[in-house]
């Protein structure tokens, strides 16, 4: 119990691949993107490189959907250069 | 050569440029993990090899130019190759020179590119007479390469111990697939194992999240606060030769030539080693940092260009850290490219040069202009709108797709296994170079034991 509230104070994000993510959003993205990709792959007409292209299209759609659903966890603060380069 | 093909090449160059200008800025994206799968997909799609090469060159240049932008703007490396520059650009940032950092970096990139393209073409033509000898010993060379890289790595004994077991894991899965009949006997599943190794470190971290003990003990973070620099817009078209001082110009050119000659070795390693060597003697902190970042950017480009071009033109086997990494699909993407039939065999010297000129030319021009003019805006856009979760989802989706295409559902588990082992090895300090060399020589290593 103690441990849980302590964690909440520190924040709820973990670091994966040098940036922070929320576990819930990450699970969503990791299910959604491959799922849409494979659906698109199997929907494609079975000739030549159609399945591959559909799959890539699916991956892109998944990526865009995730980008719309999930909010990035970065916050900004503006600094200004004090000096001009000599 | 017809107009249609040239148009396709130009379009491919634009596509590669825009896609990787954005991806380059995304923090933490490893070059191999982001460039190889897309290039691979294009190769497998049956696109003309010369168009794929144009796309690849444009992508590499755009990624190299933009991955250092967030370093200057927010102190976060956009890719592995930009990591050594963080320290130096922080020096410039604390002195209030972020604007100039970007301009120095990107001018260094331009110098690195302009120097290393002719240097690589020259080195490649010098190597051609030796090519046949090198090619006929490709397999033992990769095996010896794995041993040499192991000896040079952080955990050399651990790396040496792992060579045979890792080769057997790869061959073991291949024999399993043949035995069950998911792929015809003799067909080596390669692509998805390669990608598995590439995303290994991410997979291990993701699996850690499923481990209850690990998950509860993980460090939790608040939202990441990035300190942004308000940069001043640059008036007119910036001239890289004027942005760099005479000494920076000379040193970054020399560094690029050295970086091209040492094309076989790790791109990050070469960049750090030569970059630090060249800036060591300058004691004044701002001048030193400025010299270091211009040299390192030049080197980053030079190692990438030479590492791709020299093996591609002269050898036809991926004998460099870059060719084994992001450029891999140009050498090996069964069934389209194999070790005996890839871009090296299909394209002539003239065609390769044309692809380089179009790809690099377009990419360099656009990215240079965009970055010098709008670095802050682009970085802010990417950081504000592209969640890291979506990037991870995208790459996992690509790996799942290519794994399935290689050998069906079973191979998704197989690739997961390869990733788990590869990622753990990576954590232990056994770098990608060693792992890729083992992947290449696995059939040969196993054949030593056939009775």
Outline where DSSP puts E strands in B211-349. 224-230
| Residue A42 pLDDT class (50, 70, 90 cuts) | very high
Question: Contact B98/A52, CB-based, under 8 Å?
Answer: no
Distance from CA of A9 to the nearest CA of B (A): 9
Tokens standing for B157?
Answer: 């004994």
Give the A window 65-84 contacts with B, CB below 8 Å: 66-67, 70-83
Nearest residue to B357 (alpha-carbon basis) of B8, B9, B7? B9
Mean pLDDT of all residues belonging to chain A: 78
The three-state secondary structure class of A77 is strand
Instruction: Name which residue leads in pLDDT, B376 or B48.
Output: B48
> Within an 8 Å CB–CB cutoff, is residue A15 touching chain B?
yes
pLDDT at A3: 46
Tokens standing for B305?
Answer: 């260009």
pLDDT at B226: 66
pLDDT at A69: 92
Instruction: Name which residue leads in pLDDT, B154 or B246.
Output: B246
Question: Contact A78/B229, CB-based, under 8 Å?
Answer: yes
pLDDT, average across residues B428-448: 89
pLDDT at B231: 60
| Residue A86 pLDDT class (50, 70, 90 cuts) | very low
Question: Rounded to an integer, what distance in angstroms lies between the CA atom of residue A7 and that of residue A12?
Answer: 7
pLDDT at A85: 46
> Within an 8 Å CB–CB cutoff, is residue A61 touching chain B?
no
Element of type H or E holding A78: strand A74-80
pLDDT, average across residues B226-255: 77
Distance from CA of B28 to the nearest CA of A (A): 5
Nearest residue to B64 (alpha-carbon basis) of B344, B359, B336, B282? B359
Contact B88, B293 (CB under 8 A): yes
Tokens standing for B114?
Answer: 């302009």
| Residue A6 pLDDT class (50, 70, 90 cuts) | very low
Contact A56, B41 (CB under 8 A): yes
pLDDT, average across residues A63-71: 91
| Residue B28 pLDDT class (50, 70, 90 cuts) | low
| Residue A37 pLDDT class (50, 70, 90 cuts) | very high
Q: What is the largest CA-CA distance in chain B?
A: 72
Nearest-5° Cα angle at B369, B365 to B374: 150
For residue range B283-314, what is the model confidence (pLDDT) as tens digits? 888 888 889 888 988 998 898 899 999 999 99
B377 has pLDDT over 50: yes
pLDDT at B422: 94
For residue range B100-141, what is the model confidence (pLDDT) as tens digits? 788 888 889 889 999 999 999 999 999 888 888 887 888 888
Mean pLDDT of all residues belonging to chain B: 86
C-alpha torsion sign, points B44, B49, B53, B55: negative
Characterize the bridge pairing of strands B224-230 and A19-22: unpaired
| Residue B330 pLDDT class (50, 70, 90 cuts) | very high
Residues of A in contact with B394 (CB under 8 A): 33, 59-60, 62-63, 66
**CA-CA-CA-CA torsion for B339, B340, B346, B347, nearest 10 degrees?**
60
> Within an 8 Å CB–CB cutoff, is residue A33 touching chain B?
yes
pLDDT at B233: 61
Beta carbons within 10 angstroms of residue B422's beta carbon: 30
Question: Rounded to an integer, what distance in angstroms lies between the CA atom of residue B444 and that of residue A14?
Answer: 42
Distance set, CA A12 to CA A4, A8, B223, B226, B448 (Å): 10, 6, 9, 18, 52
C-alpha torsion sign, points B87, B262, B199, B48: positive
Counted across chains A and B, CB pairs separated by less than 8 A come out at 188
Per-range mean pLDDT, top range of A41-50, B272-281, B314-323, B353-362: B353-362
The three-state secondary structure class of B230 is strand
ipTM of predicted complex: 0.83
Nearest CA in chain A to B208: A16
pLDDT at B166: 97
B8 has pLDDT over 90: yes
B338 has pLDDT over 80: yes
B16 has pLDDT over 80: yes
| Residue A2 pLDDT class (50, 70, 90 cuts) | very low
Tokens standing for B295?
Answer: 């040299």
Characterize the bridge pairing of strands B224-230 and A74-80: parallel
Nearest CA in chain A to B404: A38
For residue range B130-181, what is the model confidence (pLDDT) as tens digits? 888 887 888 888 899 889 888 887 888 999 999 999 999 999 999 999 999 9
Per-residue burial over B63-92, b if 16 or more Cβ lie within 10 Å, else e, is bbbbbbbbbbbbbbbbbbbbbbbbebbebb
Distance set, CA A36 to CA A60, A61, B16, B343, B435 (Å): 9, 8, 24, 32, 31
pLDDT at A1: 39
B235 φψ region: left (φ > 0), alpha (ψ -120 to 50), beta (else): beta
Question: Rounded to an integer, what distance in angstroms lies between the CA atom of residue A39 and that of residue B439?
Answer: 31
Residues with Cβ < 8 Å from B243, sequence gap 6 or more?
A: B103, B104, B107
Instruction: Name which residue leads in pLDDT, B431 or A54.
Output: A54
pLDDT at B120: 92
pLDDT at B418: 96
Question: Rounded to an integer, what distance in angstroms lies between the CA atom of residue B286 and that of residue B183?
Answer: 58
> Structure pTM?
0.80
Residues of B in contact with A38 (CB under 8 A): 400-401, 404
Q: Tell me how far the alpha carbon of residue B244 is from its chain's centroid.
A: 26
Beta carbons within 10 angstroms of residue B365's beta carbon: 14
B96 has pLDDT over 80: no
pLDDT, average across residues B228-232: 62
pLDDT, average across residues B410-434: 92
Q: Give residue for tokens 């100039």.
A: B100
B431 has pLDDT over 70: yes
């Amino acid at each position: 119990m103690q441990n849980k509230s302590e964690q909440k104070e520190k924040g709820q994000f973990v670091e994966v691949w040098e940036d922070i993510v929320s576990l819930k959003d990450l699970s969503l993205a990791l299910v959604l993107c491959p799922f849409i990709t494979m659906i698109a792959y199997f929907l494609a007409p079975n000739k030549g490189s159609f399945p591959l292209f559909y799959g890539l299209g699916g991956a892109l759609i998944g990526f865009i959907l995730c980008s719309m659903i999930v909010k990035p966890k970065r916050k900004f603060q503006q600094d200004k250069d004090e000096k001009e380069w000599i | 050569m017809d107009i249609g093909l040239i148009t396709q090449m130009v379009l491919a160059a634009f596509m590669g440029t825009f896609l990787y200008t954005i991806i380059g800025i995304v923090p933490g994206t490893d070059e191999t993990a982001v460039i190889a799968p897309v290039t691979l997909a294009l190769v497998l799609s049956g696109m003309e090899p010369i168009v794929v090469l144009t796309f690849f060159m444009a992508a590499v240049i755009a990624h190299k130019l933009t991955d250092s932008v967030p370093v200057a703007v927010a102190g976060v490396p956009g890719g592995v190759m930009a990591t050594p520059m963080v320290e130096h650009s922080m020096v410039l940032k604390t002195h209030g020179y972020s604007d100039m950092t970007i301009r120095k970096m990107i001018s260094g990139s331009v110098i690195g590119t302009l120097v290393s393209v002719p240097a690589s073409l020259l080195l490649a033509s010098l190597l051609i007479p030796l090519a046949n000898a090198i090619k006929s010993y490709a397999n033992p060379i990769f095996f010896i390469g794995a041993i040499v890289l192991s000896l040079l790595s952080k955990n050399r004994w651990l790396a040496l111990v792992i060579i045979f077991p890792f080769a057997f894991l790869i061959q073991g899965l291949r024999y399993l697939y043949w035995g069950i009949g998911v792929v015809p006997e003799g067909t080596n599943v390669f692509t998805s194992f390669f990608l598995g190794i590439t995303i290994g470190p991410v997979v291990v971290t993701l699996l850690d999240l499923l481990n209850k003990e690990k998950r509860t003990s993980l460090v939790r973070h608040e939202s990441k606060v990035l300190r942004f620099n308000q940069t001043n817009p640059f008036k007119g078209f910036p001239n890289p030769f004027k942005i760099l001082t005479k000494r920076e110009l000379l040193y970054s050119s020399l560094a690029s030539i050295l970086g091209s000659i040492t094309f076989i070795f790790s791109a990050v390693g070469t960049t750090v080693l030569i970059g630090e060597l060249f800036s060591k003697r300058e004691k004044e902190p701002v001048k030193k940092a400025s010299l270091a970042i211009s040299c390192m950017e030049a080197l980053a480009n030079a190692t990438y260009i030479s590492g791709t071009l020299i093996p591609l033109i002269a050898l036809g086997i991926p004998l460099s850290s870059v060719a084994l990494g992001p450029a891999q699909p140009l050498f090996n993407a069964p069934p389209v490219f194999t070790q005996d039939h890839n871009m090296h065999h299909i394209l002539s010297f003239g065609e390769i040069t044309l692809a380089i000129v179009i790809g690099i030319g377009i990419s360099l021009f656009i990215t240079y202009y965009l970055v010098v003019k709008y670095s802050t805006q682009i970085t802010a856009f990417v950081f504000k709108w592209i969640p890291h979760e979506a990037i991870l989802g995208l790459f996992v989706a690509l790996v799942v797709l290519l794994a399935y295409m290689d050998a069906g559902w079973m191979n998704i588990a197989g690739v997961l296994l390869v990733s788990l082992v590869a990622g753990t090895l990576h954590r232990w300090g056994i770098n990608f170079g060693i792992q890729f060399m083992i992947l290449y020589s696995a059939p040969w290593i196993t054949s030593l034991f056939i009775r």
